[in-house]
Chains A and B, each alone.
Chain A
C-alpha cells in the first residue's frame, strides 16, 4: 500500500520570504500523480500544484513550485514571496495513475505566515 509522510507538523515563515514543505512517499508503482492541496480556515480543499511521475520537469504554478525527486520518493513544495493568504494546512497527496484510485494523504503541515 502507498503511504505519504509529512514530517513537519508546523512551519512558519516571514511574509515575503520563501518556505519549503517536505513530503516523502512510498510506492512500488512507476506511474502516479502527486499533489499539494491547501486547506485554509474555511476548510475548502484547494489544489495548489500537480506533478505527473513520468515528467522529469518540476511543476510550477506562479509562486509555488515543487522539487520532485522520483528515485528518492520525495516531493517538496516551495512557496516563494509568502503572503498572508498562504496561511493554511498543506496536504501532500499521492494517486495511482490507474483511473478511479483514491488519494492517499499525508498528515498535513500547518503553515503560519508572520507579518
Chain B
C-alpha cells in the first residue's frame, strides 16, 4: 500500500515554456504532499509543502511565482514550473504519507531538462 505515482518521468521543454508535473496518491488520501528538488549527487531539498484546499507553504528562497503548486483534491498535487530556464533543469520528487505513524512514500521523480 501507500503508492505515490508521479508523471511525467522525463520531460524536455524549451526555455520560456511551462511544465506541469503531477503527483498522485493511488491508494490513500493525502492532505499534505511535499515537493523536493535534487541536484546530482546531492540530498533532497524541500521546495514546498502542498496542502489540500489551501495555499502551499514554500521554503525560504523558493520562488512562489516560478513554482506553482496546486493541491485541488485529496489524491492529486501538481507542480508547474513557469517560464522555465536552463537553471530549472533538475530532478523533482514528490512524497506523501497515509498517516502519522507511516513513513513517507516517494514518487519515481521527474527529470526536467530545459533547453
| Partner-B contacts on A (CB < 8 A) | 33, 35, 37, 42-45, 47, 50, 52, 91, 95, 97, 99-100, 102-103, 105-108, 110
Contact of B43 among A52, A97, A106 (CB under 8 A): A106
Pair A43/B91 contact, Cβ less than 8 Å: yes
Pair B34/A91 contact, Cβ less than 8 Å: no
Smallest CB separation, A9 vs chain B (Å): 9
| Partner-A contacts on B (CB < 8 A) | 31-32, 34, 38, 41-44, 46, 49, 91, 93, 95, 100-101, 103-106, 108-109
A-B contact pairs, 23 of them (CB 8 A): A33-B103, A35-B103, A35-B104, A37-B106, A42-B108, A43-B38, A43-B91, A44-B106, A45-B93, A47-B103, A47-B105, A50-B103, A97-B100, A100-B31, A100-B49, A102-B34, A102-B49, A103-B44, A103-B95, A103-B104, A106-B43, A107-B43, A108-B42
Q: List chain B residues, Cβ under 8 A from A37.
A: 106
Given contacts A44-B108, A100-B31, A100-B32, contact A91 B100 (CB under 8 A): no
A sample of 15 more A-B contacts (CB under 8 A), given A43-B109, A100-B49, is A33-B101, A33-B103, A44-B108, A45-B93, A47-B104, A47-B105, A52-B101, A91-B43, A100-B31, A102-B34, A102-B46, A102-B49, A103-B95, A106-B43, A108-B43
Q: Which of A35, A52, A102, A105 has the most CB of B within 10 A?
A: A102
Q: List chain A residues, Cβ under 8 A from B95.
A: 45, 103
Pair A103/B34 contact, Cβ less than 8 Å: yes
